[in-house]
Amino acid sequence: MSTFPTRLIEGYQTFMSGRYLAEKNRYRQLAETGQEPHTMVIACCDSRSAPETVFDCGPGEMFVVRNVANLVPPYQPDDNLHATSAALEFAVQSLKIRQIVVMGHGRCGGIKAALDPDATPLSPGDFIGHWVRLLKPAAQQIQDSQLLTSGERQIALERISIRNSIANLRTFPCVKILEERGKLQIHGAWFDISTGELWVMDTQSGDFYRPELPLA
């Protein structure tokens, strides 16, 4: 029999005596009234780019779905299993979330995999290979550009992928309708894990820039 990881038990103890204690009333209130998160974030599974940490959000604030390379597949109502689409449906239709952020990050392994389609699959299922094929058209065009270094290709696809996910978000009728009515806003963000820099997407041009920090 294996024991539950000690690191997690210790972390839980710290949480209970620290954050939970400080926010006990908030947790109780959230349990009674339910969650009303202000933002949905679609982020990567990468352990270095947790959105709640980067945006300093507490319990009940942020509805987060994470998958490899923060991808949103296009709207596809069929019998397949669509985890990200299910989370999106719940966020928009049930929680009435009106801000969605697609958050990418630097040195993303999923994006790296998309740029290396001939890599040996990690398992016979090649789930990552199939998943990042959502980016294949863009990845192919970037690969074809001999002007870019491998580092430039990586960052370019990390950012193009955010725009790609946003375009796919708009294929969902509920998202499209709410956005057209001005009731839903969609944003892009890219977090550089090595420097801590946050870049956000200009919703008109799709370019990324560093936002001004009001508290600085």
Nearest residue to 50 via CA among 34, 60, 62: 62
CB of 119 to Zn ion, least distance (A): 16
CB of 121 to Zn ion, least distance (A): 18
Q: With respect to Zn ion, which residue has the nearer C-beta, 37 or 110?
A: 110
CA distance 46 to 110: 9
CA distance 17 to 19: 7
Q: With respect to Zn ion, which residue has the nearer C-beta, 46 or 102?
A: 46
CB of 43 to Zn ion, least distance (A): 8
Q: With respect to Zn ion, which residue has the nearer C-beta, 156 or 178?
A: 156
Q: With respect to Zn ion, which residue has the nearer C-beta, 26 or 112?
A: 112
CB of 164 to Zn ion, least distance (A): 14
CB of 85 to Zn ion, least distance (A): 20
CA distance 173 to 49: 29
Report DSSP letters for 58-109, one per residue.
-TTSEEEEEEGGG--PPP--SSS--HHHHHHHIIIIIS---EEEEEEETT-H
User: Which parts of this chain interact with Zn ion (CB under 5 A)?
Assistant: 44, 46, 108, 110
CA distance 187 to 199: 11
Q: With respect to Zn ion, which residue has the nearer C-beta, 46 or 88?
A: 46
Within 10 angstroms of residue 41's Cβ, the number of other Cβ atoms is 26
Q: Specify the 3-state DSSP secondary structure of 42.
A: strand
